[in-house]
């Protein structure tokens, strides 16, 4: 029987490759199911708003590169809340310059604030953003204090639930912060009620 985090990943991630395709040409994009914020909120095992305080790439026990992001959590929409949390995701660049690039996988910058929709941890302690780059919305604050969410899906191609290609729309777009957070809270609240039954 497949565990719930794996089902969520398979449902959101249709095709993602971390290697070169035949002929030596590097893969430039991943193909994923196009998801809205409500869908990501209902598929994830952890949804939070956090600031990145540090990041460090390292090899795991299998010799695979991953990046650990230390987060200060401002709010948790779904999942166990802790103020400080470290999240490991596959890929990254080691201090010696070796790296693993996963097309469509978002990277976070130290000092960045973001809303993250993450899978459960796999057996190696890694989490994946739901829908790859869709699972990260950067929080931007204007000089007047107004917040917005920036969605960047430059490395993604999209399909619908039947596997048909769908238009990506703008590759970088802005969402209203308060209205989007309200949608996420509503989706997560509905999930909590459903799981209590």
- The mean per-residue pLDDT over the stretch 5-33 comes to 48
Whether residue 60 contacts residue 124, with contact meaning beta carbons closer than 8 Å, is answered with: yes
Query: What's the distance, CA 164 to chain centroid?
Result: 22
pLDDT, tens digit, for every residue of 24-47? 334 467 899 999 999 999 999 999
**Strand, helix or coil for residue 92:** strand
| DSSP element (H, E) containing 147 | strand 147-152
pLDDT, tens digit, for every residue of 141-188? 999 999 999 999 988 999 999 999 998 788 889 999 999 999 999 999
Q: What's this model's pTM, rounded to 2 decimal places?
A: 0.83
Residue 27: CB atoms within 10 Å: 17
Number of domains in the chain: 1
| pLDDT over 50 (residue 128) | yes
52-72 per-residue burial string, b: 16 or more CB within 10 A, e: under 16: beebebeeeeeeebbbbbbbe
Range of the domain at 10: 4-196
Query: What's the distance, CA 15 to chain centroid?
Result: 15
Q: Which of 7, 27, 18, 41 is nearest to 135 (CA)?
A: 41
pLDDT, tens digit, for every residue of 48-107? 999 999 999 999 988 999 999 999 999 999 999 999 999 999 999 999 999 999 999 999
| pLDDT over 90 (residue 6) | no
Query: Rounded CA gap, 174 and 62, in Å?
Result: 38
């Amino acid at each position: 029987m497949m565990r719930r985090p794996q089902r969520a990943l398979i449902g959101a991630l249709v095709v993602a490759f971390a290697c070169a395709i035949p002929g030596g040409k590097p893969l430039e994009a991943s193909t994923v199911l196009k998801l809205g914020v409500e869908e990501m909120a209902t598929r994830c095992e952890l949804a939070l708003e956090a600031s990145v305080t540090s990041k460090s790439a390292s090899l795991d026990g299998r010799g695979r590169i991953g990046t650990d992001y230390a987060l200060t959590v401002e709010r948790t929409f779904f999942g166990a809340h802790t103020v400080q949390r470290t999240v490991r995701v596959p890929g990254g660049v080691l201090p010696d310059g070796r790296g693993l690039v996963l097309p469509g996988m978002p990277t976070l910058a130290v000092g960045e604030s973001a809303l993250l929709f993450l899978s459960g941890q796999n057996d190696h302690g890694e989490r994946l953003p739901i829908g790859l780059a869709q699972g990260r919305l950067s929080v931007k604050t204007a000089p007047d204090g107004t917040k917005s969410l920036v969605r960047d899906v430059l490395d993604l191609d999209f399909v619908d639930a039947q596997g048909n290609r769908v238009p990506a729309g703008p590759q970088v777009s802005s969402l209203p912060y308060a209205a989007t957070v309200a949608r996420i809270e509503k989706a997560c609240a509905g999930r909590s009620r459903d799981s209590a039954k």
